[in-house]
Amino acid sequence: MQEYRPLRVALLGAGSVGSQVARLLIENKAELAARVGAELELIGVVVRDIDKAVKAGVPRQLLTTEAEDVIVSADIVIEVMGGIEPARTYILQALNSGSDVITANKALLATHGTELFDAAEQVGAQLYFEAAVAGAIPIIRPLRESLAGDKVNRIMGIVNGSTNYILDRMDTEGLSLEAAMAEATELGYLEADPSLDVEGYDAAQKAAILASLAFHTEVPLDKVYREGITKITAAQMEAAKRDGYVIKILAIAERIPANGGEAGVAVRVHPVLIDRKHPLGAVRGAFNAVFVEAEAAGELMFYGAGAGGVQTASAVLGDLVSAAKRHVAGGPGLADSVHANLPVLPIDRVHTRYQVTLEVTDQPGVLAKIANTFSAGNVSIETVEQSVRQDGGKRSKTATLEVGTHSATDAELSAVVKALAASESVESITSVIRVEGI
């Protein structure tokens, strides 16, 4: 093992992730030095509230509120404070002084990623972010390196643990959305303002990061289509179960072939029906999983804890060892490029399948009328299930139709739904949900 000077590590933030990173750095000091070939010296932990960090177990003598002093004297800066500012300013400071940076900050990467990567490239510094997507699951490195010789066609990810927990509880226990959300809040899975999770904003940030890596393309957050789980009902869950499906909220990024239009990629987050036997269908509780379809590798899936302080700290330390080894031995880090730079297309261009549930007037010819609406919209029907409720022994005046479509563009499918809503024979549309994974 070659002798090398100790590497100076600065830590920004001592919350649930930061305090674990500090603990592991201190407790595993000898083991980490053996793996890296140099000691990793934690020179300071920057926090806003020193007493709170002491309570979280960080040694008082490491703590400081003065970020700049620590940042400029570090070889490697770890940012786990979250939020846009001052995280952005600190990271730029670190990169501009030539330090490598490790961040778990998905919101920052999804909104200011280009600025940060450009800054890193200009000075030859590295920006690592395994912890920013899917917590402890190694997904960034496999995408950047293991699949570097392959061509990714599609990524489908359960990338938000809170919403997967909520949907799983609705599925397994028959809970209402409200009850499942209350449970998730009690367990600390949901913030006081749950919209970041349940409206899909968090998943959209991760989708943008994954898509930009997988397709070597800049993916602005505002081009990610987003639909949350707030309209999912217990009745939809029950119906999904009957059909052998489960409802998940997925982040999906995929190549779209030209097909007359412009070729590109489309990135979206929304609830889907997925076959219970699909590997993603078996992902329970608050776990995360990312399913990748690559041209040569075929189907891959990466599964694990998507959040949690100590789990996310594991990903941070993996990046730290990589960054430190690069210091010791010199040479390349995990450079990315946006050399492909494909257009990011609207969801209209995506090919998908819909399952539409309708209440229709129970009269002769209605089914034909509905079927015509689909075919007029260029959407072909795969399955129809019709059921008529008995209301207190009397035949109801409405029937329920559950229509499963073949694949069509999202534009065509949503136009059909609009036409159905305007149809006289349709009393109400009770569920519209995309079907994926087939």
Residue closer to a second copy, measured from CB, 275 or 359: 275
CB 414 → a second copy: shortest distance, Å? 33
380 is in an annotated binding site: no
325 is in an annotated binding site: no
CB 318 → a second copy: shortest distance, Å? 4
* Exposure on the CB side of residue 30, measured as CA atoms within 13 A: 0
In this structure, what DSSP letter does residue 15 have? S
Residue 36, Cα to own-chain centre: how many angstroms?
31
Q: Which of residues 391-430 bind a second copy (CB under 8 A)?
A: none
Q: DSSP string spanning 385-429?
A: EEEEEEETTEEEEEEEEEEEE--EEHHHHHHHHHHHHH-TTEEEE
Q: Amino acid identity, residue 48?
A: R
19 is in an annotated binding site: yes
Binding mask 322-361 for a second copy (x = CB under 8 A): x--xx-xxxxx--x-x-x----------------------
191 is in an annotated binding site: yes
Class of residue 29 by CB neighbours under 10 A (exposed 0-12, middle 13-18, buried 19+): middle
Class of residue 218 by CB neighbours under 10 A (exposed 0-12, middle 13-18, buried 19+): middle
Catalytic residue selected from 206, 325, 397, 418: 206
Binding mask 296-315 for a second copy (x = CB under 8 A): xxxxxxxxxx--x-xx-xxx
CB 418 → a second copy: shortest distance, Å? 38
Q: Give the residue, chosen from 82, 279, 346, 404, that forms a contact with a second copy under the rule CB under 8 A.
A: 279
CB 79 → a second copy: shortest distance, Å? 16
Residue closer to a second copy, measured from CB, 181 or 290: 290
Residue pointed to by tokens 């999906």: 252
* Token representation of residue 43: 């020179």
Q: Give the residue, chosen from 151, 231, 242, 389, that forms a contact with a second copy under the rule CB under 8 A.
A: 151
Q: Return the closest-CA partner of residue 270 out of 150, 157, 413.
A: 157
Q: Give the residue, chosen from 320, 399, 401, 408, that forms a contact with a second copy under the rule CB under 8 A.
A: 320
CB 170 → a second copy: shortest distance, Å? 17
- Is 376 one of the binding residues for a second copy (CB under 8 A)? no
For residues 70 and 49, the answer to whether their CB atoms sit within 8 Å is: no
- Is 218 one of the binding residues for a second copy (CB under 8 A)? no
In sequence order, the 6+-apart residues with CB closer than 8 A to the CB of 140 are 129, 130, 132, 133, 213, 334
Can you tell me the distance from the alpha carbon of 252 to that of 266, in angstroms, rounded to the nearest whole number? Answer: 8
Can you tell me the distance from the alpha carbon of 209 to that of 217, in angstroms, rounded to the nearest whole number? Answer: 10
- Is 188 one of the binding residues for a second copy (CB under 8 A)? no
Q: Return the closest-CA partner of residue 17 out of 177, 152, 130, 138.
A: 130
Q: Which stretch binds a second copy (CB under 8 A): 25-33, 46-54, 90-98, 194-202?
A: 25-33
Q: Give the residue, chosen from 75, 79, 130, 436, that forms a contact with a second copy under the rule CB under 8 A.
A: 130
Number of residues that bind a second copy (CB under 8 A): 60
206 is catalytic: yes
* Token representation of residue 28: 């595993």
Q: Which whole-number Å values give the CA distances from 35 to 19, 140, 271, 324, 415, in the listed order? A: 22, 21, 42, 10, 58
In sequence order, the 6+-apart residues with CB closer than 8 A to the CB of 218 are 114, 212, 338, 341, 344
Which residues does the annotation place in the binding site? 12-19, 106, 191
Which residues does the annotation place in the binding site for L-homoserine? 191
Which residues are part of the catalytic machinery?
A: 206
Applying CB under 8 A, the residues found at the interface with a second copy are 20, 24, 28, 31-32, 34-35, 130, 136-138, 141-142, 145-151, 216, 277, 279, 282, 284, 294-305, 308, 310-311, 313-322, 325-326, 328-332, 335, 337, 339
